[in-house]
Amino acid sequence: MVVLYACGTSQPARRNVLSRTSPPANQKPANPDNNRNPNQTTFTKPEQITTRKPPEERPVVNTKVERREEPETDNTTAANTSAGYRSPAFYRNITDSIQRVAAKPSYYKITENLFKEMAVVPNPKNPAVNSQWYTTVNFDARKPNFVILHHTAQTSAEQTLFTFSVSRTSVSAHFVVGRDGVTYQMLNEYMRAWHAGRSKWGSITDMNSCSIGIEIDNNGTEPFSDAQISSLIKLLGYLKDKFGIPQANFIGHSDIAPVRKNDPSKYFPWKRLADAGFGYWYDSTNLAEPPADFNALLALRVIGYDITTPASAIQSFKLHFIQNDSSPMLTDYDKKVLYNVYRKY
């Protein structure tokens, strides 16, 4: 049985994530119609603007596919396209159909509700506000300040597009970068994707709220293609400029979830990214000896790692910076690298 699973899971999935019937309660968008005060203002839904050529018409498939854990080999979608079962073409076809039937209408409905909720002041549920309403005119939207990189642990970009197009998976990302360098945007950067999960960096415990998630199509056991990394660097440059994201804040899922995640894998070219200005890499020449009282765990903490489980924090650091050794021990060389990286923060 093929199982759709979250990226870079360290431990085998216990169950098919598609079996979930709804997002966790704390991740559901609140219903803005509740407790609305008629004196409060709301935004109306803006015109949808698209410069993209609409997808070519494809046959509408039975939407029951969204409720299945295992689409069957003999369903009409596969038959209509002559696509091999679970081939990229198979996933592309059902994803396109789901997008037209359910995903895009849902996207617009969710954004509309969020716009309404964000426009409501004062918040009727806030017991501390007891005066009449005065509004400011000096504001804009909160911006992402981190980029979290993932590998999909799936076999094609199309499979990932499908995974993020159905609600039962409760996972998403802003961008998916294919092996061939084709880059898909699935969510506006100002919206909160569900890619980081339970994670921590420094003192930040809600990484989804402050980051952009990028899924890189890779099964976790193979090198990343040059076309893919070139496209990724182009995307990172755009995001860095648009949101003023500091170089240090381009990090991996395994960095922020040391116990749970191991993506992107040891094959990920972090040095190439650092050379382009995204994330840090150590100075490969003239690595200085750390001082005698150097505390490696505190250095990891300064960089941002959650050191609650020290061995996992060390393994995440080594997956990122040493890459060819996954042991939870720091060699003398590893400590030199850590000392060098730590001083950049």
Nearer to Zn ion by Cβ, of 116 and 200: the residue is: 200
Question: Phi and psi of 183, rounded to 5°?
Answer: -110, 125
Sketch the per residue contact string, 5 through 24, with Zn ion: x for CB under 5 A, - otherwise.
--xx----------------
Compute how many residues bind Zn ion; rule: CB under 5 A.
5
In whole angstroms, the minimum distance from the beta carbon of 92 to Zn ion comes to 22
State the distance between the two ends of the chain, measured CA to CA, in whole angstroms: 45
4 binds Zn ion (CB under 5 A): no
Sketch the per residue contact string, 199 through 238, with Zn ion: x for CB under 5 A, - otherwise.
----------------------------------------
Which stretch in 181-189, 201-209, 259-267, 289-297 sits in contact with Zn ion by CB under 5 A?
A: 259-267
In whole angstroms, the minimum distance from the beta carbon of 154 to Zn ion comes to 11
In whole angstroms, the minimum distance from the beta carbon of 176 to Zn ion comes to 12
Which of 82, 222, 203, 89 has its CA nearest to residue 152? 222
Nearer to Zn ion by Cβ, of 66 and 263: the residue is: 263
253 binds Zn ion (CB under 5 A): yes
Residue 41's SS3 state is: coil
Instruction: Report the DSSP beta bridge partners of residue 9.
Output: 261
Would you give the distance in Å from CA 167 to the centre of its chain? 16
174 binds Zn ion (CB under 5 A): no
66 binds Zn ion (CB under 5 A): no
Contact of 186 with 164, CB cutoff 8 Å: yes
Residue 335's SS3 state is: helix
Nearer to Zn ion by Cβ, of 5 and 321: the residue is: 5
**Strands 183-185, 250-252: pairing kind:** unpaired
161 binds Zn ion (CB under 5 A): no
In whole angstroms, the minimum distance from the beta carbon of 263 to Zn ion comes to 4
313 binds Zn ion (CB under 5 A): no
User: For residue 255, what are the contacts with CB-CB under 8 A and spacing of at least 6?
Assistant: 201, 304, 305, 316, 317, 320
Which of 86, 116, 150, 179 binds Zn ion (CB under 5 A)? It is 150
Distances (CA, A) of 29 to 100, 115, 159, 172, 304: 22, 11, 26, 15, 29
User: For residue 279, what are the contacts with CB-CB under 8 A and spacing of at least 6?
Assistant: 247, 248, 250, 251, 270, 273
Token representation of residue 297: 């765990």
192 binds Zn ion (CB under 5 A): no
Q: What is the rounded CA–CA span in Å between residue 281 and residue 314?
A: 16
Which stretch in 65-73, 172-180, 224-232, 250-258 sits in contact with Zn ion by CB under 5 A?
A: 250-258
Which of 96, 217, 255, 263 binds Zn ion (CB under 5 A)? It is 263
Which stretch in 58-66, 146-154, 158-166, 219-227 sits in contact with Zn ion by CB under 5 A?
A: 146-154
User: For residue 161, what are the contacts with CB-CB under 8 A and spacing of at least 6?
Assistant: 91, 92, 95, 176, 184, 186
Which stretch in 174-182, 231-239, 253-261, 307-315 sits in contact with Zn ion by CB under 5 A?
A: 253-261
Residues 90-109 that bind Zn ion (CB under 5 A): none
Token representation of residue 154: 């799936």
Which stretch in 3-11, 109-117, 170-178, 281-289 sits in contact with Zn ion by CB under 5 A?
A: 3-11
Which positions are annotated as active-site residues? 215
Query: Where along the sequence are the contacts to Zn ion (CB under 5 A)?
Result: 7-8, 150, 253, 263
